[in-house]
Amino acid sequence: MAWLQITRSVRASVRKITKALVQGRDRRRTLSRPQCRAPFLELRASHISDPLERLKFLRYQQVARARARWRLPRPAIVLASALLCLVAVIPFPIISDARPTPIRPNLAMRPPIEESGAFPQVWPIEKAADHETFSNGLRVENRYVAEAKPRGAFRVFPAEDPQAQMGTLLTAPAGIVFHTTESDELPFDPSENRTLQRVSAELLSFVRRHRSYHFLIDRFGRAFRIVPESDVAFHAGESAWADHRYLYLDLNRSFLGVAFETRTRPGEDTAGLTAAQIGTARELTEMLRSRYRIEAADCVTHAQVSLNPGHELLGWHTDFGASFPFTAAGLPDNYALPPAALYLLGFRYDSAFRQATGPRIEKGLTMADSLVESKATALGLSPGRYRGLLRRRYRDVLARERAGSPIEELQNEN
């Protein structure tokens, strides 16, 4: 920009000097030769006897005087030529209308989740048409199984930097999402036994029609398979989670849904589960983790993964917001893990979410906020600006996750 200003200044000076020289010449001509040449020309013309030749002479002199009026003196011509040559040899940057390519900040962040590497050992010991039993005492009823859309391959992305590549295709379930059915809850009492069984049967028929979960555990602790693990159940909706390896979007395809016949009470940290339900939860979780090599950190509640993309908030659903018995189910307290939507996707949470969940999830929320603030400071950005960049990345990654046919791509790779 400095060279451009110098060039413009020199050109302006040339124009000013040229204008001043022209004005000075005209002033000199006006003062020195006002009318003096007219009598001299007439005298010369009087000596020409031929009228036609005399007329030609006068016209020629008139044209010559008009041309001389616009002719610069020789010193002015030399000076202007020198200045123009100087401008021509001065280098200056080329100005282009093209916008410079913005530099994308390095948004890469390693999730603070460690790999456990330990999995339970559970194997099937009996398989019949209507049930299946396992070595840890689990019995799964198959009377309500409904086939659904096959899972096929789904796309996951590097958790540290989801934009680094197009993603990896997986086929086996990668995690478990725990749900509550939010159905009517009757007193768990012997006097209500018949009504309890009727309500459970109606609930099972309902979730079967809607393919809502892969498994449902009723209040008697019975585990029912609703959708085969090889198919997609519509349990998670808009959702996201991350472990030490991958970022998972659309958990309907990548995670299994396990529901409990109970309700979530906002703000409470103890679930209204029966002892039989908690025991079956441990057995079913062990079986699924053993069969599909699921990390303990990938067993989470619906409240931790559910998204509200329209308002860019965590917690469209808040079931098991802070009341799932992780320890009793043989898992670490995963409420202490930061939700991926907050520190990888730029989402927020509001006061309604905190009221609907409870104090147990506060540790995970606080850790997510701390990760965002520290990364924003390292990049020299405000937390709000940094979250905006994360949300833009989320939209880009989500578009890639939904683009194309992962099944065809997996077949091409094989």
Residue 262 has what pLDDT? 94
Rounded distance between C-alpha atoms, residue 96 and residue 93, angstroms: 9
Q: Could you tell me how many residues make up the chain?
A: 414
Rounded distance between C-alpha atoms, residue 177 and residue 251, angstroms: 8
Q: Is 348 helix (H, G, I), strand (E, B) or coil?
A: strand
Structure tokens at 250: 């659309």
Nearest C-alpha neighbor of 307 from the set 372, 383, 386, 250: 250
Contact 217, 297 (CB under 8 A): no
Using the structure block, give the residue that is written with the tokens 């029966």.
274
Residue 66 has what pLDDT? 57
Say yes or no: domain 124-413 is CATH 3.40.80.10. yes
Residue 286 has what pLDDT? 98
Residue 83 has what pLDDT? 61
Residue 180 has what pLDDT? 96
Residue 407 has what pLDDT? 43
Contact 304, 240 (CB under 8 A): no
Measured from the Cβ of residue 334, the count of other Cβ atoms closer than 10 Å reads: 20
45 φ, ψ (degrees, to nearest 5): -65, -30
Instruction: Render each residue's pLDDT in the chain as its tens digit; 414 residues.
Output: 555 566 677 677 767 766 765 565 555 554 444 445 566 666 676 767 777 676 766 677 666 665 555 454 555 555 656 666 555 555 545 444 555 445 567 777 777 787 777 899 999 999 999 999 999 999 999 999 998 999 999 999 998 888 777 789 999 999 999 999 998 888 999 999 999 999 999 999 999 999 999 999 999 999 999 999 999 999 999 999 999 999 999 999 999 999 999 998 887 878 889 999 999 999 999 999 999 999 999 999 999 999 999 999 999 999 999 999 999 999 999 999 999 999 999 999 999 999 999 889 999 999 999 999 999 999 999 999 999 999 999 999 988 888 754 444 444 443
Nearest C-alpha neighbor of 140 from the set 150, 130, 148, 149: 130
- Alpha-carbon radius of gyration of the chain: 42
Residue 339 has what pLDDT? 96
345 φ, ψ (degrees, to nearest 5): -115, -5
Rounded distance between C-alpha atoms, residue 136 and residue 121, angstroms: 9
Rounded distance between C-alpha atoms, residue 414 and residue 410, angstroms: 6
Residues 6+ apart with CB under 8 A from 137: 283
Rounded distance between C-alpha atoms, residue 292 and residue 287, angstroms: 9
Distance of alpha carbon 165 from the chain centroid: 14
Rounded distance between C-alpha atoms, residue 92 and residue 71, angstroms: 32
Domain boundaries, the chain: 2-89, 124-413
Contact 285, 119 (CB under 8 A): no
